[in-house]
Amino acid sequence: MNGARQPVGVFDSGIGGLTVVKAMIEGLPSESIIYVGDTARVPYGTKSKSTIVKFSLENVEFLLRFGVKCIVIACNTSSSWALPTLRKYFKVPIVGVIRPGAFAAVRRTRHKRVGVIGTNATIKSRAYEIAIHRIDPTITVFSQACPLFVPLVEEGWLNGSVCRTVAQRYLQPLKHRRIDTLILGCTHYPLLASTIQQVLGPGVTLIDSAEQVAAEVRGVLTGTDTLCDQRTTPRHRFFVTDEPAHFTRLGHRFLGRLIGSVERANMHA
User: Using omega within 30 degrees of 0 as the cis cutoff, is the peptide bond preceding 244 cis?
Assistant: no
pTM for the model: 0.92
Q: Which domains does the chain have, with CATH numbers?
A: 3-96+211-264 (3.40.50.1860), 98-208 (3.40.50.1860)
Q: Is 146 noted as a catalytic residue in this protein?
A: no
What phi-psi label fits residue 198: left (phi over 0), alpha (psi between -120 and 50 degrees) or beta? alpha
Contact 194, 159 (CB under 8 A): yes
pLDDT at 1: 45
Q: What pLDDT is attached to residue 2? A: 60
pLDDT at 267: 84
193-221 per-position pLDDT tens digit: 999 999 999 999 999 989 899 999 999 99
Query: For residue 62, what is the enclosing H or E element?
Result: helix 49-64
Quote the pLDDT of residue 177. Answer: 97
**Spatial CB neighbours of 152, under 8 Å, sequence gap ≥ 6:** 158, 162, 163, 166, 192
pLDDT in the model for residue 71: 98
Q: Is 163 a catalytic residue?
A: no
Catalytic residue among 70, 75, 163, 228: 75
Give me the pLDDT at residue 3, please.
83
State the catalytic residue, choosing from 70, 146, 186, 228: 186
Query: Cα–Cα distance between 210 and 197 in angstroms, integer?
Result: 18
Q: What is the dihedral of CA 139, 142, 143, 146, to 10 degrees?
A: -130
**What pLDDT is stored for residue 269 in this prediction?**
66
The stretches in the chain having pLDDT less than 50 are 1
